[in-house]
Chain A
Amino acid sequence: MNASLMVGMAEYKVTRTSGEVLVALGLGSCIGVCAFDPTARVAGMAHVVLPQSAGHEQSPGKFADTAIPLLIAQMVQQGASPARLRVALAGGAQLFALGGSGPRMEIGARNAAAVQEILERSRIPIIASDVGGKTGRTVHLFTDGRVRVKTIGQGERDLITL
């Protein structure tokens, strides 16, 4: 039985304890950034809510441009090397698609673009991504690098092993 570490909105967590699993429940427009160093076996996850911090200093875990550097820094502290990091992404959907004005239209797509840009700038490869669309996702990152994504329509499936 794996012990779940819940990564709530605007949080980021890192583990290297075998048997633990990082979980971001019910990602809508948010993105679960799953990072893994296969050599050091350090796993980290950020639950990004919005693309740009635009000068906000409170809760840096909320924004792609501030959360990702912090996640990487914490992983390095636990023995990961930035050059070895591999990333998988899940989320960035738009659930409120039918009818009128959903909450902040296109936020999911903007989140995905921001996360991709920051990772590219940091030269960290995105190995797999399951982003966009209209469905919510739950993402699990295990300490062996396995990434599992669950959606309502398609059930649970392995996305990749980082």
Chain B
Amino acid sequence: MTTQTLNSMDELALSALKEVGNIGAGNAMTALATMLDQNVDMSVPRVGIIPLSEFALMTGGEETISVGVYMPVEGDAPGHVAFLWPEASALRLAEQLMGLPLGSTDSLDEVACSALTEVGNILASSYLVAIGEMTELNLLSCPPALAYDMTSAILSEVAAAFASMEDQALTITTHIGEAFGAVDGFFLYIPEPGSLKIMLHALQLDI
């Protein structure tokens, strides 16, 4: 049923999911802006069905280095949430969080990684709370894990989390940034196919 569900989704369902991504990311960005005491911008979310073979290439940064924070989502509609920051952005974000001058570090130590993990946790919770309110579903994020490595390797390990069931995944991607361009990253939300149905049903859009 699952692959079929993805392929049979109409424009209305896709735009509803885009709105889900919008509301979630909006709330998360507010949380980030508060943390940094700065304005943060975000793009209109991109909703796409991505085949497994292309997943690792979806942000275009094949062999660039990124920091990824991943959390499984449990509750009424299971899925996956991940953040991806290119290394330079992750460094600037960590510096801002720790009150260090911008540009003063060139690698992430344990403290910085732990701070970024916590940021991921807060952003994911804000994202899920907003979606939960919109759909009246109970969505919980599990404890986060961090990876600091090749972008494509991080994405492929996230993909391995849903690969046992699926050959493709519906992914809601939001690009986030802030006025100075220092923090520039991606927010991925991957509801499990069964969850898509539940979510669309909660939005009164049955497919």
Contacts and interface: CB of A to CB of B under 8 A. Distances in A.
B147 A137 contact: no
Interface stretch (B7-15, B125-133, B153-161): B153-161
Given A103-B80, A152-B65, A28 B154 contact: yes
Interface in A4-57: 8-11, 25-30, 49-50
Nearest to A10: B52
B135 to A, nearest CB: 24
In terms of DSSP, what is the predominant structure of the interface of chain B?
mixed
B52 A62 contact: yes
B153 A26 contact: yes
A103 B158 contact: yes
B160 A30 contact: yes
A101 interface: yes
A79 interface: no
Given A59-B167, A95-B149, A101-B72, A27 B53 contact: no
Interface string B135-176: 000000011111101111111111111011001000000000
Interface stretch (B19-27, B38-46, B55-63, B91-99): B55-63
A162 interface: no
B56 A8 contact: yes
A154 interface: no
Nearest to B82: A103
A99 B147 CA distance: 10
A27 B153 contact: yes
Which range contains the number of A residues in contact with the other chain? 35 or more
A93 to B, nearest CB: 8
A96 B150 CA distance: 12
Contacts of B155: 26
Contact of A62 (B70, B146, B153, B167): B167
Nearest to B157: A28
B130 to A, nearest CB: 22
Contact of B153 (A58, A95, A100, A102): A95
A107 interface: yes
B32 interface: no
Nearest to A100: B143
Interface string A133-149: 01111100000000000
A28 B167 CA distance: 18
Contacts of A11: 53
A102 B70 contact: yes
Interface string A99-116: 111111001000000000
Given A103-B160, A136-B157, 6 more contacts: A27-B153, A49-B52, A49-B159, A59-B52, A99-B144, A138-B150
Interface of A: 8-11, 25-30, 49-50, 58-59, 62, 93-104, 107, 134-138, 150, 152
20 contacts: A8-B53, A8-B57, A9-B53, A9-B56, A26-B151, A28-B149, A29-B160, A62-B163, A95-B68, A96-B157, A98-B145, A98-B147, A99-B143, A100-B142, A100-B143, A101-B71, A103-B72, A103-B161, A138-B63, A138-B152
Pairs of residues from A and B, 10 with the lowest C-beta to C-beta distance, nearest first? A136-B153, A100-B143, A26-B152, A8-B53, A103-B161, A28-B157, A95-B147, A26-B153, A96-B145, A102-B145
